[in-house]
């Protein structure tokens, strides 16, 4: 019985999480609109980055809500384990990317700017997490 | 770890999806369990065994 209650509350929490993601995206849209219409000095690229982030968050929120509607749990002990392992690998991969960028900068192999490096690290972290998660979820023995 | 999940599922005429719902996990976890490619926690082993109306020892072969 306690087991059932735990699972039910877990499913509700996940639904709330999807809602929060969409609400946060709405806040980001409002921030972007404020910067665009009421702040003349605002950087246009910053506005487009915020809008892109918000759009991605809406997409994730809708996808999660759709999965929840199917009645399948979004995460169970195996997927949580896969995620944890993937986060570890992703962290190391991002660390290596940063080290490479540091060497590139040190030996002047390319011209780097802050925006470019931050964007690269930002996308490397999320992309590598998704890739590692996909790869590890197809591995046989996890733990 | 070898299991008798497939055999017990067939006995109770249960699909992987139904078993997954009863055990509160994703269907792919049941697939990996059946193939012996995932070592479940004690709680999951208990839930799967309960869903198959069996004891843990009858479902999972240690």
The pLDDT tens digits of the residues spanning B20-57 come to 989 989 888 999 999 888 888 999 999 999 999 999 99
Yes or no, beta carbons of A78 and B32 under 8 Å apart: yes
pLDDT of residue A86: 93
> Is A143 in CB contact (< 8 Å) with chain B?
yes
- Number of residue pairs across A and B with CB atoms under 8 Å? 41
pTM of the model: 0.68
With contacts defined as CB-CB under 8 Å, which chain A residues touch B29? 76-79
Q: Is the pLDDT of residue A74 over 80?
A: no
**Confidence label for A75 from pLDDT (cuts 50, 70 and 90):** confident
Yes or no, beta carbons of B26 and A142 under 8 Å apart: no
The pLDDT tens digits of the residues spanning A103-127 come to: 999 998 888 888 888 888 988 998 9
Q: Is the pLDDT of residue A84 over 70?
A: yes
Kindly identify which residue of chain A lies nearest to residue B35, measuring between CA atoms. A140
Kindly identify which residue of chain A lies nearest to residue B45, measuring between CA atoms. A77
Query: Six-digit token pair at A23?
Result: 């609400």
Helix (H) / strand (E) containing B16: helix B16-23
Distance from CA of B11 to the nearest CA of A (A): 24
Q: Is the pLDDT of residue A43 over 90?
A: no
CB A133 within 8 A of CB A82: yes
Yes or no, beta carbons of B43 and A137 under 8 Å apart: no
- More confident position, A138 or B42: B42
Which of A8-22, A26-40, A59-73, A82-96 ranks highest by mean pLDDT?
A82-96
pLDDT of residue A100: 95
Q: Which of A51, A48, A62, A56 is nearest to A29 (CA)?
A: A51
What is the mean pLDDT of the segment spanning B13-21? Answer: 92
With contacts defined as CB-CB under 8 Å, which chain A residues touch B44? 76-77
Q: Which of A85, A66, A76 is nearest to A131 (CA)?
A: A85
């Amino acid at each position: 019985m306690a087991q059932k209650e735990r699972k039910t509350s877990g499913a509700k929490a996940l639904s709330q999480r999807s809602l929060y993601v969409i609400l946060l995206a709405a806040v980001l849209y409002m921030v972007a609109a404020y910067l665009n219409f009421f702040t003349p000095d605002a950087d246009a690229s910053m506005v487009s980055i915020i809008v892109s982030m918000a759009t991605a968050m809406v997409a994730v929120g809708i996808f999660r809500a759709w999965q929840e509607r199917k009645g399948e749990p979004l995460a169970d002990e195996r997927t949580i384990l896969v995620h944890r392992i993937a986060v570890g690998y992703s962290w190391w991969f991002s660390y290596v990317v940063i080290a490479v960028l540091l060497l590139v900068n040190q030996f002047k192999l390319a011209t780097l700017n802050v925006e470019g490096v931050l964007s690269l690290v930002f996308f490397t972290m999320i992309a590598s997490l998704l890739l590692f998660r996909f790869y590890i979820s197809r591995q046989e023995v996890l733990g | 770890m070898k299991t008798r999940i497939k055999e017990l599922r067939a006995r109770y005429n249960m699909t992987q999806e139904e078993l997954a719902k009863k055990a509160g996990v994703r269907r792919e976890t049941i697939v990996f369990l059946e193939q012996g490619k995932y070592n479940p926690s004690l709680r999951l082993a208990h839930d799967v065994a309960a869903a198959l109306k069996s004891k843990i020892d009858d479902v999972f072969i240690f």
